[in-house]
Structure 1
Amino acid sequence: MLRRIEELLLAVLLGGMALLAFANVLTRYFLHYPLAFTEELLVNAFVWATLMGIAIGLREGPEGAHIRFVALTEILPEGWRRGFIALGFTVFALLFLLLAFLAWGQARDDLVLKTTSPSLGLPNAVYTLPTPFLALWVAFRALQGVWRSLRG
């Protein structure tokens, strides 16, 4: 169920990004007037899509679906191999927990300072609030990878 929700959200986000970029190209080409607000939306949506894609990649398979350096782990005995893979997932989780903490600070500052975006005049928190939660989701998926690795 969660897998489907993740994939559906990412598909909707990527589809919306493609339509928005295409609309911008059409208006720039035919009307000679670009839609300035699309860059604001696309840049932030790209960050969200990247984080969602990382989480989806971490959940796939026993070692995750992301590119990794396996020359060392391939020659290790099974117990050591699982331990090093778990260590990699742990470092990944810690990195994204740190990102979530820092992103929360940015979102909090945007809420307190009531900053607005340049093109649409929306509160910046609209763009920054999803980031710490998505980073936490990536950390959760990484911790699931630790569990899978240690469980064998």
Structure 2
Amino acid sequence: MSVLVILNVITRYAFSYSFTWVEEVTRYMMIWATFLGAGLALRVGGHIAIDTLPNALPAGPARWVRSLIVAVIAASLLAVIWLGIEYAEFGWEQETPVLNWSFGKVYLAIPVGAALMLVHLFFVAPRWIRSGEWERIEGFDPQAL
């Protein structure tokens, strides 16, 4: 994305020529990158969370609250998958303005990203429910920002 945008800026100002498709392609790349990366962020605890209640409770009730949270997240992701598929089907016959791609292909990022988040949730849920700990990646702290 960065390379395309920088290239387009250089050609626009240096050669008075702009690639008309760059803005559209980079926008769709950003959408797909966001939805594909959301599962990885979930895996390391990188999403915004309010964990005051589970942290204030004794171990047993805290596990119960975290289990309830996982169930709500899973149900929400299943709803997003379902609605995302419907949204992609709705936009399948519509075309993007410049490239004439199907909007359905762009909208597929929603159910695909939600399905990947659900997969990541199932990988990290047992550990998180037991201990409140996420996976750790050497040199990466999702709460540092």
TM-score by length of 2: 0.75
Q: Partner of 1:115 in structure 2? A: 94
> 1:151 deviation in Å?
4.7
- CA-to-aligned-CA distance 1:56-96 (integer Å, 9 cap, x gap): 02222xxx233322222221111222222232233222222
Higher helix share: 1
TM-score by length of 1: 0.72
Partner SS, residue 36 of structure 2: helix
Q: What is the aligned residue count?
A: 131
- What's the Cα RMSD here? 2.1
Q: Which amino acid aligns with 1:103?
A: G
> 1:109 deviation in Å?
2.2
The percentage of aligned residue pairs carrying the same residue is 28
Q: Partner of 1:52 in structure 2? A: 36
* In structure 2, C-alpha distance between the alignment counterparts of 1:124 and 1:135, rounded to whole Å: 18
Structure 1 unaligned regions, length at least 5: 1-16
Q: Partner of 2:27 in structure 1? A: 43
Q: Partner of 1:146 in structure 2? A: 125
* In structure 1, C-alpha distance between the alignment counterparts of 2:24 and 2:105, rounded to whole Å: 12
Among 94, 103, 110, the residue aligned to 2:75: 94
Kindly tell me: are residues 94 and 21 of structure 1, through their superposed partners in 2, closer, same or farther at Cα, counting changes over 3 Å?
farther
> 1:52 deviation in Å?
2.1
Q: Partner of 1:68 in structure 2? A: 49
Assess if the C-alpha contact under 8 Å between 2:31 and 2:109 holds in 1: no
Partner SS, residue 94 of structure 2: coil
* In structure 2, C-alpha distance between the alignment counterparts of 1:124 and 1:147, rounded to whole Å: 37
Kindly tell me: are residues 21 and 91 of structure 1, through their superposed partners in 2, closer, same or farther at Cα, counting changes over 3 Å?
farther
